Amino acid sequence: MIVTRNVTALAATALLTAGLAAEPATRPAVEPVLKPDPKVTAIINGLGDNEAARLPAGHVVGEFNALAKRFKLDKTGPFSRDYCLKMVWMPDRKRAIYMGANHGTPHKINDVWEYDLPSNTWVLLKNPDYNSRPGFQKTNAKTLIKDGMAVTESGSPVLAGHVFWGVTYDPNTRAYLMMNKHAGAPKGATGLFGGPWLFAFDPYTREWTPRPTKPPHPFRGFGCSLDYIPDLGKSLWVNGSTWRHPGTWTYDAKTNTWTELKVAGPKDKEGRTEAVTAWDSRNKVLVAAITRRVYHFDIATNTWAKVVDGSDTAHPAPFASDYVTPFGYDSANGVCLLAKPAGRRTWNYNYRVPCELWAYSPTDRQWTKLAPIGPPSPNGNRAPCGYYDPDRNVFVTTWGTTVWVYRYKKAAE
């Protein structure tokens, strides 16, 4: 049961920080237990260098409420949603977590899922209980204010829109972190937290927690990125220089505090809005790709550098953006992989044909367009969601229960 209250940011922060300081002594079991599918295992184990495969039709499990069934999520899973294509790997659960909304069609809901590759199964972790698409307000759950942020009666964030690349997973506190839009509060609500609306979801308890923070904290802009950096034990938040109040910050989930990094050089060098990002564990840089440009952020020197400008016709680069191109770091081979819907190098894409696949080498600072062996990617009316699975060394793209996997190279013995 949710206790509703309007509190000041300082009081909320004090309560939260006390509860976050201690890391869980024991980790709960991963549920539901899912049995690997022998056909999927054979396909993944059989992939060679530069090979792709389409998996058999996937499965969907969970206890679905009326809103979920209304959109046939019990049959299709989440499908892909253009407010967020980023699936996030959870090293403790060995699955990828996903949430997000559409710009409006067919819905804008706040459900949470995880995908298990060995069993090829989507698991509903949290039912949707709010649809912010215009025309559906009369059927929505009651909205409340908790710790200065808008939530539903179940404690879920009211809105999952404009998430894009602003999600990550902190294994220290087993928290899926999501930066939310300042919207959805009941009319006339008071005591709203004025800083970034950061929420944490625990996939074990399946509960959301608002995380207001003491100043200083970053400005919440659309199209920003959030990535957990193992070398820091914190998450890196980038508000690109094409938005108001650009900045590069770290977030410590244990202490619930933000720290702005003193980036060397002018502010306009700090990444870009709408970029897809990935942590390169070999070179120790955050890779940020937007349109045909690539930026690196070096955590050792706190510096941004534009390493690919996109104008070099001798070295083509794909058009990258957080709403259309899944992106992941292949830790077995030290490259970033990107799936791009076909079409011009602009915002206009043709989703009815297979995706292009590209590899970016942070070491060489160069893109390579790939020609995978095997079936082309599926096609549909949306871009796929995606992530890199480090345990199976495959790049995974999903259109709901339709899943396409790719292996760049086998891991070195």
Judge whether 9 lies within some domain: no
Beta bridge partners of 356: 340
- CATH code, domain carrying 380: 2.120.10.80
276-280 and 285-290 strand pairing: antiparallel
221 CB neighbour count, 10 Å cutoff: 20
Percentage with pLDDT > 70 across the chain:
87
Q: What is the pLDDT of residue 10?
A: 37
Q: Which amino acid is at 73?
A: L
Q: DSSP letters along 146-206, please?
A: ETTEEEETTS-BS--TT-TB-EEEETTTTEEEEEE-S--PPTT------S-EEEEEETTTT
Report how many domains make up the chain. 1
Judge whether 19 lies within some domain: no
Judge whether 30 lies within some domain: no
Q: What is the pLDDT of residue 117?
A: 98
- CA–CA distance from 251 to each of 185, 196, 238 (Å)? 25, 12, 11
Q: What is the pLDDT of residue 225?
A: 93
Tokens at 245, concatenated: 């109040």
Judge whether 137 lies within some domain: yes
Signed CA dihedral, 132, 276, 205, 32: sign only = positive
Judge whether 27 lies within some domain: no
8-state DSSP, 138: G
Q: What is the pLDDT of residue 270?
A: 59
Judge whether 25 lies within some domain: no
Domain range for 295: 37-407
pTM: 0.91
Each residue's pLDDT tens digit in the chain (413 positions)?
Answer: 333 333 333 333 343 443 344 445 567 899 999 999 999 999 999 999 999 999 999 999 999 999 999 999 999 999 989 889 999 999 999 999 999 988 888 899 999 999 999 999 999 999 999 998 877 765 666 889 999 999 999 999 998 878 899 999 999 999 999 998 888 888 889 999 999 999 999 999 999 999 999 999 998 777 889 999 999 999 999 987 556 678 899 999 999 999 999 887 665 565 678 899 999 999 999 999 998 999 999 999 999 999 998 888 888 899 999 989 999 999 999 999 999 987 654 456 677 788 999 999 999 999 999 999 999 998 767 889 999 999 999 999 999 999 999 999 997 65
59 CB neighbour count, 10 Å cutoff: 15
Judge whether 374 lies within some domain: yes
349-350 and 59-61 strand pairing: unpaired
Tokens at 286, concatenated: 């955050």
Judge whether 371 lies within some domain: yes
